[in-house]
Amino acid sequence: MKRFPFIIVLILAALAAASVQAADVGVSVSVSEPGFYGRIDIGDVPRPELIYARPVVIQPAPVHVVREPVYLHVPPGHAKKWRKHCHRYHACDRPVYFVKERWYRDVYVPHRHASARHHERGQGGKHGHNGQGRGDKGHGRGHGRD
């Protein structure tokens, strides 16, 4: 828990740098803490349970622009009144899948925490192996199985 404020500072610095470099940068922050609302990276997490089967789009993008769907964890009521809240998530012009609170809490958060612990172990600790620690089979992505 002592690292949490440090992580927030790093995220804010990255967001500030991204906004200076480009106007349309897709930044995906994966905090995976209880109480966090926003965009989540599904990655190798088991299939998400969704509030609605189809993505919700408030303001379609121009015909020649293809927007990838995003997965969001939002507070109760935001998905139902998405038109009112989409601007907070910078997702009015994107297809959005809303994940269920239960799935986020019981599947996503534990999986991301376990993955982070595995990744830390697989990096070789303070000796550093350039992403080729013992647990990741030398691919540098931390996808190895224990």
Those residues with Cβ within 8 angstroms of residue 134's Cβ, 6 or more apart along the chain or in another chain: 121, 122, 124
Overall pTM > 0.75: no
Q: At residue 8, does pLDDT exceed 80?
A: no
- Please provide the average confidence, as pLDDT, over all residues in the chain: 73
Q: At residue 9, does pLDDT exceed 70?
A: no
Question: What integer pLDDT is reported at residue 117 of this predicted model?
Answer: 77
With b meaning 16 or more CB within 10 Å and e meaning fewer, what string describes 43-60? eebeebeebeeeebbeee
Q: At residue 101, does pLDDT exceed 50?
A: yes
Which sequence spans correspond to the domains of the chain?
Answer: 27-125
Q: At residue 50, does pLDDT exceed 60?
A: yes
